[in-house]
Chains A and B, each alone.
Chain A
């Protein structure tokens, strides 16, 4: 069936650097996308979302980019901090059905 996937399963960055986490989705009809952060032993925490009628959305230190032409989603984290270390999931939605990608583990080195 259709699925959401990620290009990189792990990402290691130096504290203070910018991080980019990528996600490929396969359902061209998906109209809403969310990035989640999940720390060990906790539930997924909402980071930022974007609707399909937008290409870019910015939050505090985070930016989500959506390229519908190639069905690609990315999460950019500026000035990455040790507290950003976690697993990051993208999720796509179509008609209320939310599906998650495989996840990327981000490790921030001091």
Chain B
């Protein structure tokens, strides 16, 4: 398995909702990442987990809460989001930072 799988592919949520994005990889990668990508813009790093520990948090608002339950799974919990948070959320993993970086196809999030 050489893929990073993200679910759901599309998500529409209200500003008072709580939802979670999921990311899974079975390549034995020990680093996992969340990126946010707005239309026609490059991906922006949000969080980095290395060996299941949060190593980089790019000053992301607390309405985004990452979680790494084990080395294969990465979640992004969403609460009280704003319409400007609508974007493509990408997960990536790597063997050891930064080599072998592999991206998932992303979750297209719309906040209404």
Interface residues of A (CB under 8 A from B): 32, 34, 36, 41-46, 49, 89, 93, 96-103
A36 to B44, CA, bound (A): 14
Question: How many B residues, CB 8 Å from partner?
Answer: 26
Cβ of B69 within 8 Å of any chain A Cβ, yes or no, is no
Count A/B pairs, Cβ under 8 Å: 53
- Cβ of B42 and Cβ of A103 under 8 Å apart? yes
Interface residues of B (CB under 8 A from A): 4, 6, 31, 33, 40-45, 48, 50, 55-56, 90, 92, 97-99, 101-106, 108
In the bound complex, residues from chain B placing their C-beta under 8 Å from that of A41 are 105, 108
Given the known A-B contacts A43-B104, A44-B90, A96-B50, are A32 and B42 also in contact in the complex, defined by CB atoms under 8 Å? Answer: no
Determine the residue in chain A with the shortest Cβ distance to B40: A103
A103 to B40, CA, bound (A): 8
